[in-house]
Chain A
């Protein structure tokens, strides 16, 4: 499944392997790459102290639960904040601890390689990484608490059921196993029945085929506020990965009061605004465009082109950007060796699409790890494609049964493979069903069981470790793909009597264009600013200061020319600077 790193990086990986377990908070008793909030902060602090010249840490937000959201800057030299940078954002989706592990693992690997590994040293001398390892600390912490559960929302109190009380009716660990799982209630009117091939799974009975159910299925809880409904007002708050403004899901549970209403989302927004040198981003979360690269679709602007006042927002990647996403996807698969199609979460309100559609950056997303050999869903772009898992009754606390979404032909194929894989590799993940006495269902058989929260997102240590290795390689390569301006062929030509024609080319020697097509529309990243200066020079033709459009990568260039007047022997300085593509300066002498 994974290709081992080449021998040069192998040494570093052994070192990382020795470092990582130290000081880790343990979930299960053994070593684990997953850290709770305190362990994460202490790991970040440890990195900062180990590499004081490479790493600076800031806090971009404090969650409603009072947890700091750190951002780590990694880079060598004095110009760290004014040269091309890669942003890594992880764990906006609360239960996705693997994202944090990858982000920190990559950080650790790169920081330790500086000075000994020539490729890493060159990279960190030229490029900066900004890493936000855990954007949703309140939700992530729920996988470390008692009971443990898959929480998506932050700790902001919320009166979801409008009864004047906040967060009074959430999940409860009824069987005392330390996990919030699923309960099934024997119920002649129930719509659920055990799967015939894997009886530990529940599936919806098909009434049109004459199937009876016999069970109803709900998240483990009871009606704590006596309003006749359970789970209608659970803890929190805002799901940070639903709180961003591109295609924001207004009024959806967990989406928050409005886009960017949470301090975490606002903290990231302000951070990106304050760092115009971010050229590209890598988002670790449920949204993927690396295994299934984004495709442009003909617009639905109702007659007017998308991306305009009349046509409204873009609903798919711009056609001019499609090839770049395709090529990075190809490289991603080659670099990581990953195969299969991870279960895709719908786009909208998430970090990844916001970074592309609104902030104009090349933004790439991956889930990091998934149960291998997952067959592709019938429509990978369909909204609610995740409904099949919830419908299987083995998901976490996502609410009682998911009625929405279009079911795949047989969602159980994937469910059965998930269970089989977990049986083989993570044997404690599928929990046995235990009978309980349930106060809301007196006299009815109620059983609690299902899957350990987070099990399908966060694999056991060996798998997580190889995911860290794979994605660190990709992150390293991606940081090397950023645009880079350079001067080429600058020359001065005498036009007689102190008049000169100056010509030069501004080239982009990096792989990515200086701006994505979406960036040209979004007006950031900023354009390349070119200036021509020299003592006593008058610019007669051309502009002393000008802004250039996009220069595609791989050595493409734009030719500029000026006519100036000045004395022979004058030194002319040409300067091209772009926050996302660096600064290039060249001089020439008039003669």
Chain B
């Protein structure tokens, strides 16, 4: 459903909403007991059983901003190749602190055009935080301390193509930048064709006694391989298409397979022959550049999540065996991943190159490698979810066909229909609709959104958080005072990852004192009875390379005067905190 303007859409929303029961003001409210895990009375009713187009994403962001001006802002980080806004929804408590100085969680989705539900999970996160912060104290405090930068789709051109044009569940993966896939000098001249006009790109098959596929006895819509000694019935001709450029290949040069936006990132980017889909050069895509620019300008981003589909994975880098994540950081990833597997039944915490496949120039590796940001990529939805158990191996059936028969009543798969093909003669067209197998069925989408959000909020809660824990004052005589401060990081993640520290990516934490002349300043190493190491230049602002998770640093000054003084901890990724102190 498309969302129209605010006034025009109440009625439509109300009628549809009767089934999902969000109370609607335009009609008599329906009496209810609110379930836990859902807003009692959402100011912006949104149905979470469908996939929203580009205009709707912006409209939901705009409505959230209007309804929750102190919590939500709609902006844009730039424009896509075809000129669409790359919507940014910033969520925080704007009445407490500067959102760009709070430790921030970056969330995006839909880098692959056909991997659409990351957008809904991102949008749901913005909606849930805005609507629930008054209802749930933990979320209210999360928004006091943290900022969420949410970009529901970093590939709106591809999303629009997937939603609005005929496609398969697997097309397009690329965005819409024009490319000559087959090297013949022509661009996008031979893409898929919707031969039966049903809005889906499904398979073509042709009756052929020498084909090696047969119709499954369990489900006439399903083809399975014939036994080695069994005659076949069908020959598979690929996805619907016509050889438009006369090169003997079908569908080899459309927008679908031209490049992979998730291989275009500069960290260990490799050319086409090492990494298929890498595109022309690192950051050759407008969308890649916009995200890099945004993230680089927001050094407060301490954690990131980039949602994909599918497979039920909580992925971290590196993408290739030649790279190495630093051991202190791996310990943090491991703990987050462990909790994630509990939050997300059927999901596994995995390392991209070791447990999946090799990826050069992937987005999550750029976030960690180049910016030192702890980043996950969840692969949303898994065949585990069809029957809440690991899928069984059945020669004549498949879980998605069985699920379609038993729970979707046959809606998700197009039955075979006859079509006259200009090159192949009589063929049959049929198979899985584009919004099935990779995208989540409507009635399960909200749950999938919620569980993945819960994991990401857990990560956000474990981003560093610095606090000036204690300040002790001791008189040294002759008008001199020794001030000793302990600054703690109350969370799992460090203020600087090891990758960040070793490559000096973000500036050090600064612990400063104001209120009097500073004679000398020291960072105490090996506390409690540690050695005070002097910082001669600018002793009033001591530089600390890192405050590891669940630990603290001790600093000391010798100051002249009577105070009062203020000790301030200022960490690019751990936030700011101040504490006044008197003699």
Contact = CB atoms under 8 A, between A and B. Distances in A.
Contact of A357 (B184, B271, B537, B538): B271
B183 A312 contact: no
A483 interface: no
B282 interface: yes
Nearest to B508: A162
Contacts, number: 110
Interface stretch (B225-233, B243-251, B458-466): B243-251
A438 interface: no
Given A251-B504, A302-B321, A309-B274, 11 more contacts: A245-B281, A259-B269, A259-B283, A266-B283, A307-B274, A309-B320, A358-B281, A521-B273, A526-B185, A529-B184, A547-B247
Interface in B84-115: none
Interface of A: 159, 162-164, 226-229, 245, 248, 250-251, 257-261, 266, 269, 273, 302, 307-313, 357-358, 521-524, 526-527, 529, 543-547, 577, 579
A245 B273 contact: no
Most buried by B among A163, A257, A358, A544: A358
Contacts of A227: 537-538
17 contacts: A162-B506, A245-B266, A245-B269, A245-B281, A257-B292, A258-B292, A260-B281, A260-B282, A261-B266, A269-B281, A269-B284, A273-B281, A311-B274, A312-B320, A357-B271, A522-B272, A544-B246
A547 B184 contact: yes
Contacts of A545: 184, 245-247
Contacts of B273: 307-308, 521-523
Most buried by B among A258, A308, A521, A527: A258
Interface in B150-209: 180, 182-185
Contacts of A159: 507
Contacts of B321: 302, 310
B360 interface: yes
- The A interface, classified by DSSP as helix, strand, loop or mixed, is loop
B144 interface: no
Contact of A526 (B183, B269, B274): B183
Contacts of A522: 271-273
A527 B281 contact: no
B267 interface: yes
B266 A260 contact: yes
B274 A312 contact: yes
B537 A228 contact: yes
Contacts of A269: 280-281, 284
Given A162-B507, A258-B292, A309 B283 contact: no
Contacts of B296: 257
A313 B537 contact: no
A257 B248 CA distance: 44
B552 interface: no
Nearest to A160: B504
B2 interface: no
B210 interface: no
A523 B322 contact: no
A358 B271 contact: yes
Nearest to A539: B246
A250 B370 contact: yes
Contacts of B503: 250-251
A255 to B, nearest CB: 11
B352 interface: no
Per CB-CB distance, the 9 closest pairs between chain A and chain B, nearest first, are: A162-B507, A258-B266, A228-B537, A521-B273, A227-B537, A251-B503, A269-B281, A358-B271, A309-B358
B562 to A, nearest CB: 27
A238 to B, nearest CB: 13
Contacts of A307: 273-274
Contacts of A529: 184-185
B350 interface: no
Contacts of B281: 245, 259-260, 266, 269, 273, 358
A304 to B, nearest CB: 9
Contacts of A526: 180, 183-185
A241 to B, nearest CB: 16
Interface string B268-306: 011111110000111110000000100010000000000
Nearest to B322: A312
B582 interface: no
Nearest to B180: A526
A313 B246 contact: no
A229 B184 CA distance: 57
A527 B182 CA distance: 10
A282 B566 CA distance: 61
Interface in B361-375: 366, 369-370
Contact of A313 (B180, B270, B369, B504): B270
A261 B289 CA distance: 9
B186 to A, nearest CB: 10
Contacts of B271: 357-358, 522
